[in-house]
């Protein structure tokens, strides 16, 4: 929904006001003015910031009159309710949670009254609704835009950088993620048990990707505690035949490597490390599934099963499954995605913490220690047998927000790699435990809460002076969506142009193959022009 972007941008710009000076100074500054499509929105109470929790409050009236939402205030229960389309938000004064469509969500600050006006927390509402805004620091003005108008950036990027062709190094990596989980990219569900059809599909996909200028594929060979190769440790993936544990009649990884190398392209084996299943059902799992063999290692989080990273033997099991591929195949790299600890829901590992806490008093620090141990030991295992094989990880695109860490990025992401996945990517880079890092920068140059150019600059600074190579993860799957900046395929080209400003960026990886092949908004022609004709 278009209006869902609005509040996210308003949050960023209003919070920027608090970062300029102390809370007391902000409160004594001139009133913040709000304009909606050029018409001023009048209110007796201006937006303000609650200093201790750093939450921006806006009048409920702005939500109702400006956005056309239904709002209700129950004075007896001290509850504010906002209804817009299929979303119902309910907040009660002094209550640390809110109701969203019959589900509870935590709040840093709830609804409150000021000067007789009901004020609501912008951070919370923005996550549920959204709007586009432009903040003018000199006039302290917030301009609300109701259409798909691009938001003016607080730090404009030179137009000759993002719109004009920049020098392109043909040796840069130009990769594509190939997802096998849920049969997203390859093989198709219609090819179950038909090896010839699966081979034909892979060859056709490779030909199309290479025709776009791609020179590397990152194929998911371990989608969920299983394998797309014959393994003595884990069962055959169900995404080959429809049944986990059933032999597809050939070695898909051997075939894919041969076809990929035949074209002079790189083949990176992509592993999902800790996901055991994509659902909680166990009756469809093979007898040698890790869930059945080692149930003491398994944690149910949000109805999905995970291998517990806190158990050393479980981590070593995953490393052993990866090393099967390293030892057996002529791969160019081992690639991990961002599935470490799940970023949402609860992860019940109190008992594991008690058994393996190693003196840690902070569970979050212990969880990061577990992942650090896994990354370091996997790197050592790979390099001990095939030092030429590259080891890389693709973390979530925001390490930490600057609000939580002064050395973090200038972002307002609701999820961060460090705090939610417990992935301390900075430590991996500084210790040289990985050869390359590919942050998933799945936001546009117009998305202020997590602005693409700011994140490229931040990650470039992180790898500068180290031996770790930086690739950027791009999101062609967002082209054509209502999120800010994705209404034209030129967005991807502008991102590639911006990358050229940073010598640390040595290439790009696109998510995912099916989305490139759909040619969203004419992207294929743009990529051909960028990669093959310059």
Q: What string of DSSP letters covers 469-525? A: EEEEEE-GGGTTSSSTT-SSTHHHHHHHHHHTT-TTEEEEEES-HHHHHT-GGGHHH
- Owner of token pair 């609501």: 120
Domains located in the chain, CATH noted: 33-145 (3.30.457.10), 173-533 (3.20.20.80)
Query: What's the pLDDT at 110?
Result: 85
Query: What's the pLDDT at 22?
Result: 33
Query: What's the pLDDT at 150?
Result: 39
Q: Is the peptide bond before 512 cis (omega within 30 degrees of 0)?
A: yes
Query: What's the pLDDT at 48?
Result: 74
Q: Whose CA is closest to 379, among 334, 330, 337, 314?
A: 334
- Exposed e or buried b for every residue in 9-34, given b needs 16+ CB within 10 A? bbbbbbbebbeeeeeeebeeeeebbb
CB-side exposure of 70: number of CA atoms within 13 Å?
7
pLDDT tens-digit profile of 137-149? Answer: 555 566 655 544 3
Whole-angstrom distance, CA of residue 263 vs CA of residue 259: 7
Query: What's the pLDDT at 102?
Result: 64
Query: What's the pLDDT at 43?
Result: 62
Query: What's the pLDDT at 25?
Result: 34
Report whether 270 contacts 229 (CB < 8 A). Answer: no
Query: What's the pLDDT at 200?
Result: 98
Q: Which residues in the chain land under pLDDT 50? A: 1-29, 133, 135, 147-155
Angle at 22 between CA 20 and CA 26, to 5 degrees: 75
Is the model's pTM score more than 0.85? Answer: no
pLDDT tens-digit profile of 147-188? Answer: 443 333 334 555 555 555 555 566 799 999 999 999 999 999
Whole-angstrom distance, CA of residue 132 vs CA of residue 112: 24
């Amino acid at each position: 929904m278009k209006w869902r972007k609005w509040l996210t941008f308003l949050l960023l710009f209003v919070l920027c006001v608090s970062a300029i000076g102390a809370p007391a100074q902000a409160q004594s500054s001139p009133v913040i003015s709000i304009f909606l499509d050029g018409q001023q929105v009048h209110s007796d109470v201006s937006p303000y910031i609650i200093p201790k929790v750093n939450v921006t409050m806006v009048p409920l009236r702005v939500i109702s009159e400006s956005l056309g939402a239904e709002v209700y205030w129950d004075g007896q229960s001290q509850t504010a309710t906002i209804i817009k389309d299929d979303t119902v938000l309910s907040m009660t004064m002094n209550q640390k949670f809110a109701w969203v469509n019959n589900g509870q969500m935590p709040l840093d600050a709830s609804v409150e009254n000021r000067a007789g006006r009901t004020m609501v927390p912008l951070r919370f509402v923005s996550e549920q609704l959204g709007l586009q805004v432009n903040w003018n620091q000199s006039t302290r003005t917030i301009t609300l835009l109701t259409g798909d108008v691009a938001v003016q950036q607080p730090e404009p990027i030179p137009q000759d950088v993002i719109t004009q062709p920049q020098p392109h190094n043909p040796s840069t990596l130009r990769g594509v993620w190939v997802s096998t989980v849920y049969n997203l990219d390859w093989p198709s569900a219609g090819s179950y048990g038909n090896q010839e059809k699966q081979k034909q599909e892979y060859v056709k996909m490779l030909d199309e990707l290479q025709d776009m200028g791609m020179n590397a594929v990152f194929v998911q060979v371990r989608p969920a505690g299983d394998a797309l190769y014959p393994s003595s440790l884990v069962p055959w993936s169900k995404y080959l035949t429809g049944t986990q544990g059933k032999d597809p009649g050939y070695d898909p990884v051997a075939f894919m490597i041969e076809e990929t190398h035949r074209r002079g392209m790189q083949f990176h084996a992509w592993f999902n490390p800790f996901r055991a299943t994509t659902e909680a059902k166990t009756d469809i799992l093979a007898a040698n599934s890790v869930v059945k063999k080692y149930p003491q290692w398994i944690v149910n989080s949000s109805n999905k099963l995970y291998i517990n990273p806190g158990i050393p033997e479980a981590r070593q099991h995953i490393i052993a499954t990866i090393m099967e591929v390293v030892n057996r195949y002529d791969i160019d790299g081992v690639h991990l995605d961002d599935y470490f600890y799940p970023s949402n829901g609860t992860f019940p590992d109190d008992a594991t913490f008690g058994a393996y806490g190693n003196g840690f008093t902070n569970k979050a620090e212990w969880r990061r220690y577990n992942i650090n141990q896994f990354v370091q030991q996997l790197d050592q295992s790979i390099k001990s047998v095939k030092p030429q094989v590259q080891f890389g990880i693709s973390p979530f695109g925001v390490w930490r927000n600057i609000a939580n860490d002064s050395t973090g990025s200038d972002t307002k992401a609701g999820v961060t790699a460090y705090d939610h996945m417990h992935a301390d990517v900075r430590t991996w880079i500084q210790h040289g435990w990985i050869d390359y890092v590919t942050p998933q920068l799945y936001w546009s140059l117009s998305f202020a809460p997590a602005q693409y150019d700011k994140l490229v600059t931040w990650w470039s600074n992180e790898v500068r002076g180290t031996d770790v190579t930086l690739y950027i993860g791009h999101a062609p799957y967002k082209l054509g969506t209502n999120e800010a900046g994705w209404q034209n395929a030129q967005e991807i080209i502008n991102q590639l142009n911006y990358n050229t400003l940073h010598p640390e960026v040595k290439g790009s990886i696109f998510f995912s193959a099916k989305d490139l092949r759909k040619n969203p908004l004419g992207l294929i022609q743009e990529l051909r022009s960028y990669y093959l004709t310059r």
